[in-house]
Amino acid sequence: MENKTIKNEAITRREDDFAQWYTDVCLKAELMDYSSVKGFIVYRPYGYAIWEQIQSYLDRRFKETGHENCYMPLVIPESLFNKEKEHVQGFAPETLICTIGGKNKIEDPLIIRPTSETLFCEHFSKIVSSYRDLPKKYNQWCSVVRWEKTTRPFLRGSEFLWQEGHTIHETEVEARNETLAMLEIYDELGKELLATPFIKGKKTDKEKFAGAEETYTIEALMPDGKALQSGTTHYFGQGFSKAFNVTFQSKEGKLEYPHQTSWGVSTRLLGSIIMVHGDDNGLVLPPHLAPIQIVVVPIAQQKPGVIPAARKIYDLLRKEGIRVKIDETDRTPGYKFADWEMKGVPIRLEIGPRDIEKEQVVLSKRNTGEKIIVKNDELIGESKKLLDLIHKEMYEKAHRFLLEHITEVRNMDELKTTVDNGGYAKTMWCGDEVCETKIKELTTATARCMPFNQEPFDNKCVVCGKKATKVVLFAKAY
């Protein structure tokens, strides 16, 4: 049974204006609201609940892999912030600075944390003295502030929510393993929760994190063909530990500098979810991520027996651990359908007098619009199967789109055409930053990453024609 729902006129069509469609969904699905300060948004309960699902998944994964949560101060004295040179150059232009406390001028102005490497290092320098104290594998959930000129909900904000992991280790090998292990967890978050395929790779030196030796990334592709950096992990080597004088006595009794990492994902992921899966009727949420997995909509609910039957179904699903909601408001079914579609609930369950008679319900899939009639006694099993199926369909659709939008390019014309049309230009590169910069100047595309799969398909740099050493994916990006 197929029954595509009618276009919801409350939001712009994607093909008419993708950016406006995005903003419409953010507001109409009640994910966020603006505040009176630009770039500082209100995370409304429905948007925040999606973030809580991500938190819950990652927090479990972090703890299972031996990480501990902690909380560092909100503010960093300017003098502390300035200790690591590359780091301060990267972040100083976008800092928010406090200069008045309790009506008095603050001598060493306080920067609202844009990221907390400096705070963790200061703390590590006090609590680490022996190899017995290592590793320290810490994480914190918090908000950070980066004063941005151009802001968009979730994608680029002056304040955003994130987690930042910070670890220090005895050896380089251990720290490097940590950097890659956390990238793997982010990738699995995409596969298992977000139904989003990422490309994993390493950032070029030009694109890496300020102060890092190496930055790894997961990159998603949006339907408009632009890439979205969705999470990064950094290997710092001993740069920060030297700048902050974090040392430890090794097993051999020598004073050494530990090796450090950091890694983070943010509420930017919400922007990715909206764009990757959404359609002209609003949000489409992957089932394992959705705060509400099934919404029960009683049909002709004023008729006797309908509400009790709907509630019975609701209780049944809830007891099975399915995140379910029942909509008993006095709105019309049509209005309810449109509203829950806008909010991207994966399955709508309709139950009316005729269904009750036949001991059945109607399940409607948000991602395809298909309807399925299910007998009451098969409901639990069928619902769980359907949630898994929807997840699979959504992942595969996004994966197909990604694969269709990676194009091997052999000259600058092909590169420009590819990134202009949208998608990744898979490019051979000599490794010289001059060539990388030239590509950006000519196309506005940036090096998203050097993917882990480095199989060369040509031997010449696409810019200078010299010997190519790396496969790089270029794309325009958010």
DSSP string, 197-222: --EEEE--GGGS-TT-SEEEEEEEE-
Q: Which stretch binds its own copies (CB under 8 A): 83-91, 103-111, 168-176, 181-189?
A: 103-111
Out of 77, 223, 333, 353, the residue judged to bind its own copies by CB under 8 A: 77
Residues between 304 and 343 that touch its own copies (CB under 8 A): 329
> Using the rule CB under 8 A, which residue among 159, 213, 341, 436 binds its own copies?
159
Binder to its own copies among 138, 162, 216, 236 (CB under 8 A)? 138
Binding mask 174-203 for its own copies (x = CB under 8 A): ------------------------------
Query: Hey, what are 343's tokens?
Result: 């909010």
d(CA 328, CA 266): 35
Minimum gap (Å) between residue 162 Cβ and its own copies: 12
Residue 9 lies near its own copies (rule: CB under 8 A): no
Q: How far is the CB of 444 from its own copies (least distance, A)?
A: 23
Q: Of 24, 84, 117, 122, which one interacts with its own copies (CB under 8 A)?
A: 122
Scanning 96-104, 174-182, 227-235, 245-253 for contacts with its own copies by CB under 8 A, the matching segment is 96-104
Q: How far apart are CA 194 and CA 181, in angstroms?
A: 19
State the nearest-atom distance from the C-beta of 282 to its own copies, in Å.
Answer: 18
Residue 64, interface with its own copies (CB under 8 A)? no
CB nearer to its own copies: give 35 or 245.
Answer: 35
Tokens 């270029």, located at residue? 474
Residue 283 near residue 289 (C-beta atoms within 8 A): no
The answer to whether residue 112 forms part of the interface with its own copies (CB under 8 A) is yes
Which one of the spans 37-45, 292-300, 301-309, 395-403 is the region binding its own copies (CB under 8 A)?
Answer: 37-45
How many residues sit close enough to its own copies to count as binding (CB under 8 A)?
A: 54
Closer residue to its own copies (CB): 81 or 395: 81
Does position 43 bind its own copies by CB under 8 A?
A: yes
- Put the strands of the sheet holding 227-237 in their side by side order: 68-69, 136-145, 159-169, 259-266, 227-237, 214-221, 199-202, 446-451, 470-475, 424-429, 406-408
Do residues 196 and 220 lie in contact, with contact meaning Cβ atoms separated by under 8 Å?
yes
Choose which of 2, 64, 93, 357 interacts with its own copies (CB under 8 A): 93
Candidates 54, 58, 110, 425: give the one binding its own copies (CB under 8 A): 110
- Considering only 91-99, 162-170, 220-228, 306-314, which stretch makes contact with its own copies by CB under 8 A? 91-99
What are the residue ranges of helices labelled H in 172-305? 172-189, 239-243, 268-277
Would you state the structure tokens that stand for residue 235, as one six-digit string?
């290997």
Sequence length of the chain is 478
Instruction: Rule CB under 8 A: say whether 80 interacts with its own copies.
Output: yes
Neighbouring C-beta atoms of residue 394, cutoff 10 Å: 24
* Cβ count within 10 A of residue 160: 22
Evaluate whether 151 touches 273 at the Cβ level (below 8 Å). Answer: no
Of the candidates 3, 15, 37, 332, which one interacts with its own copies according to CB under 8 A? 37
* Residue owning tokens 């030239």: 438
CA distance 263 to 230: 11
Q: How far apart are the first and last CA of the chain?
A: 39
Q: Which of 102, 253, 304, 321 binds its own copies (CB under 8 A)?
A: 102
Among positions 411-450, residues that touch its own copies (CB under 8 A) are: none
Mutual orientation of helices 433-443 and 412-421 as an angle, nearest 10°?
A: 50
Q: Is 223 in the site for its own copies (CB under 8 A)?
A: no
Q: Among 430, 465, 429, 432, which residue's Cα sits nearest to residue 474?
A: 429
Nearer to its own copies, 107 or 455 (CB): 107
Q: Which residues bind its own copies (CB under 8 A)?
A: 33, 35-37, 40-45, 48-49, 52, 68-75, 77, 80, 93-103, 109-110, 112, 119, 122-123, 126-127, 132, 138, 142-143, 145, 147-149, 158-159, 161, 329
